């Protein structure tokens, strides 16, 4: 009926959907009425599961409705992509739809076109009912919309198909069809023409969804079948009733809710005899003479009560005894279950015959690990100390062995395409690279096994791939500012050879790479030599300086006028290597010798001071072993 556009409202700064009636309908008064009906019906409804209407109007022959823009997919798109949906998710969606219908029905509005196409599931998982294009305000005189039956034939109710009266229960039938499609992935009725589908809607009983999806809970199955009742009187009478059952089935999925109940009084007309009537002949029968025992008990009523109680007890005991004997004779014996997995089918049959249990092959499957004719699994499963009844049946899945596939041609394909093709066949690839002067690198040269050979799934296919002329191009890495060891390791890992040069740069650490003769990121042949320049700083050496303080100062003890030795002041010994003061300490002037360690690179100038008086200056070579300078 209409085209829907995405638009932006500049007043409220939000995106909206604008539905505009198609041009071919703007001259049709009936369609304009339907279009306006949609606007009036939907605009009066406010519910989180109903698409909101913001504005309605027309400009000339342009009739439009401004509504909420819903981001998501239609339920039909989800079913088409995923097939049968999980029952809990389906029930939750059905609850939201039923909640929307409950509000619409209470406002006197029947949707009349409930189907997965008109239900949008938002990105947050919220169901939104849209398109009230054929919804109508309910009235007693409404039979069809404008004299025609409008709707989607796979989803509308039998009364809708007949063109009869449609009400809230018709929407619930359509919701039942939507639930059926969600849990099974298919609609209840399908045919080549719409008329054929409509006839099926009116005449045929749908196949129960639990037969298509055995894992479906019985409660969900019953809810769907009750919603799909042909007679509106046996269907759900309101969305509220259906909501109660949908909510209950989530809590108690295996409870047998929503069962179809027989309508009271629905019995055929028949002749019934008059109760308590007595024929004249019965009245004329003479009274029989009472038995002496009866007369005795009539006179002794207390004994009659005791006799009745004793008789009842004896009768009860006799019935219980007979029941026990019959039950024991009919009861099947319990036997321990046998683990059949890994047995051959013949072995399993022989073992089960011994304990009088039947074997049924449920299906056969290919299996890469279990040999052909051997059992993969069983139902019920084997459990220790678990028992089953005699004459019960164990169902088994039997292996057909490894699946055989025909090997296709991989020669001439790119390596990546060939590997994917091998995986798609259920085989395992083994890639072997070879030098080839005739085949481009990365192309398959030959294969094992050959084309059209049958191979078991999981077996290996060898493909020999060209690596070109054998000379591989590699990218030169950047090794500047790396240590000598790191640079050599990185270059050799790329298949490059390394030559070393040395020079001194006092601004950099020793052993660091200062430069490389091939720029980084340059593509070169594998095996190319790259020369790196390594920073080599001179080695710092150690030396010893012996300062003979007493000899240098010429110290002689001094005594005062009383003959007491005067305590002398300390003298400072300072040793300068080049420009660095490497030793400075004070000692008594009578100290025989002061030993100090110095360090430097190669030839150094050593200056020795005693109390700021230079006693000696000398150039020494620290590269010599055991360098010692004596200052006397």
Q: Which residues are catalytic?
A: 113
Tokens matching residue 596: 């100090």
Tokens matching residue 112: 């009349």
Burial of 611 (0-12, 13-18, 19+ CB in 10 A): middle
Query: What are the φ/ψ torsions at residue 328 (nearest 5 degrees)?
Result: -65, -40
DSSP 344: B
612: left (phi over 0), alpha (psi -120 to 50) or beta: left
Location of structure tokens 């400009």: 59
Location of structure tokens 């036997």: 335
Mode of pairing for the β-strands spanning 603-610 and 594-600: unpaired
CB 151 within 8 Å of CB 134: yes
**Rounded to whole angstroms, how far apart are CA atoms 34 and 45?**
17
**Rounded to whole angstroms, how far apart are CA atoms 447 and 442?**
14
Q: In what order do the strands lie in the sheet with 393-399?
A: 358-365, 393-399, 375-379
**Rounded to whole angstroms, how far apart are CA atoms 565 and 554?**
17
The angle that helices 292-299 and 301-330 make with each other, rounded to 10 degrees, is: 120
CB 551 within 8 Å of CB 563: no
Query: Strand pairing partners for 498?
Result: 530
Q: Across the chain, which distance is largest between two alpha carbons, in Å?
A: 181
Distances (CA, A) of 337 to 236, 357, 376, 486: 46, 9, 16, 67
**Rounded to whole angstroms, how far apart are CA atoms 520 and 477?**
5
């Amino acid at each position: 009926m209409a085209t829907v556009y995405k638009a932006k409202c500049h007043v409220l700064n939000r995106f909206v959907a604008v539905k505009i009636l198609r041009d071919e309908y703007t001259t049709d008064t009936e369609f304009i009425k339907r279009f306006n009906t949609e606007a009036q019906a939907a605009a009066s409804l406010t519910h989180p599961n109903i698409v909101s209407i913001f504005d309605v109007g027309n400009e000339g022959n342009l009739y439009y409705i401004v509504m909420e823009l819903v981001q998501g997919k239609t339920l039909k798109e989800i079913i088409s992509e995923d097939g049968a949906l999980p029952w809990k998710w389906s029930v939750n969606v059905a609850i939201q739809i039923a909640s929307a219908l409950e509000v619409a029905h209470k406002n006197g509005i029947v949707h009349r076109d409930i189907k997965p196409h008109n239900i949008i599931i938002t990105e947050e998982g919220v169901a939104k009912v849209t398109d009230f294009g054929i919804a109508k305000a309910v009235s007693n005189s409404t039979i069809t919309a404008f004299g025609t039956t409008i709707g989607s034939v796979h989803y509308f109710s039998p009364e809708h198909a007949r063109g009869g009266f449609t009400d809230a229960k018709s929407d619930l039938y359509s919701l039942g069809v939507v639930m059926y499609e969600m849990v099974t992935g298919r609609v209840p009725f399908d045919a080549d023409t719409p008329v054929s589908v409509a006839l099926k809607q009116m005449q045929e009983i749908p196949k129960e969804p639990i037969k298509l999806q055995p894992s479906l809970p019985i409660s969900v199955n019953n809810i769907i079948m009750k919603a799909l009742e042909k007679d509106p009187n046996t269907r759900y009478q309101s969305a509220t009733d259906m909501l109660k059952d949908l909510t209950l089935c989530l809590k108690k999925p295996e409870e047998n809710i929503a069962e179809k109940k027989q309508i009271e009084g629905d019995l055929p007309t028949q002749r019934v005899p008059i109760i308590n009537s007595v024929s004249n002949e019965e009245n004329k029968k003479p009274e029989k003479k009472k038995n002496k025992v009866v007369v005795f008990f009539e006179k002794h009523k207390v004994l009659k009560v005791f006799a009745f109680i004793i008789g009842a007890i004896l009768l009860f005991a006799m019935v219980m005894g007979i029941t026990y004997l019959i039950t024991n004779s009919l009861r099947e014996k319990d036997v321990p279950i046998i683990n059949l997995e890994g047995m051959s089918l013949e072995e399993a049959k022989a073992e089960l015959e011994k304990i009088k249990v039947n074997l049924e092959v449920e299906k056969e499957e290919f299996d890469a690990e279990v040999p052909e004719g051997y059992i993969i699994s069983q139902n019920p499963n084997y459990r220790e100390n678990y028992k089953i009844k005699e004459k019960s049946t164990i169902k088994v899945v039997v292996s057909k062995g490894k699946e055989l596939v025909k090997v296709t041609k991989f020669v001439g394909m790119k390596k990546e395409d060939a590997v994917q093709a091998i995986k798609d066949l259920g085989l395992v690839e083994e890639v072997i690279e070879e030098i080839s002067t005739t085949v481009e690198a990365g192309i398959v040269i030959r294969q094992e096994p050959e084309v059209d050979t049958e191979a078991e799934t999981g077996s290996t296919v060898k493909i020999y791939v060209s690596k070109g002329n054998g000379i591989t191009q590699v990218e030169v890495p950047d090794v500047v500012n790396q240590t000598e060891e790191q640079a050599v390791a990185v270059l050799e890992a790329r298949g490059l050879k390394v030559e070393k040069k040395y020079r001194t740069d006092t601004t950099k650490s020793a052993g660091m790479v200062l430069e490389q003769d091939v720029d980084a990121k340059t593509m070169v042949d594998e095996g190319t030599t790259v020369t790196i320049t390594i920073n080599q700083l001179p080695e710092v050496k150690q030396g010893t300086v012996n300062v003979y303080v007493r000899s240098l100062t010429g110290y002689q003890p001094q005594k005062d006028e009383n003959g007491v030795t005067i305590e002398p002041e300390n003298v400072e010994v300072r040793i300068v290597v080049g420009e660095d003061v490497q030793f400075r300490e004070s000692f008594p002037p009578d100290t025989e010798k002061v030993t100090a360690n110095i360090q430097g690179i190669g030839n150094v100038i050593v200056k020795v001071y005693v109390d700021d008086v230079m006693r000696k200056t000398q150039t020494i070579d620290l590269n010599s072993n055991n360098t010692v300078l004596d200052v006397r």
